[in-house]
Amino acid sequence: MFENKEQAVELLKALDKVAYALHGFCVKGFEIFGVPFTPTETPTTDESPVSEETPPQLLTEEAVRKVLTTKTKAGFSTQIKELLPKHGATKLSDIPKENYAALLADVEALS
């Protein structure tokens, strides 16, 4: 799935940032409605290895498109167009689904 370890690490860093942002979004959402935030699962510091037998869930084209749209509106249109060929095509609908996570990691790294 990854060409090298560095790509996997970069993806994990990007996913960690997304998870952190989503947690903050949930907490803020509960505060807005005056409801105390109670997580359904307690985060652990246990770093259990991921089984290589479990296939990763694939992202949907719609979810990737939302992220690309947000970044495009933030002024990264040219950079996104330059990233697409690196991931297999010149438009999102032609990019293989298995490349979505790597594409998102690259897009999230734009700043």
Whether pTM exceeds 0.85: no
Quick one: tokens of 101? 């996570």
Per-residue pLDDT of the chain (111 residues; tens, 9 = 90+): 556 777 777 888 888 788 777 777 676 776 777 777 676 665 555 555 554 444 455 578 998 999 999 999 999 999 999 999 999 899 999 999 888 888 989 998 887
Whether residue 101 contacts residue 11, with contact meaning beta carbons closer than 8 Å, is answered with yes
pLDDT of residue 51: 47
> What string of DSSP letters covers 20-58?
HHHHHHHHHHHHHTT-----SS------PPPPTTSPPPP
Residue spans per domain, the chain: 5-42+57-108
Q: What is the pLDDT of residue 2?
A: 59
Amino acid letter, 95? I
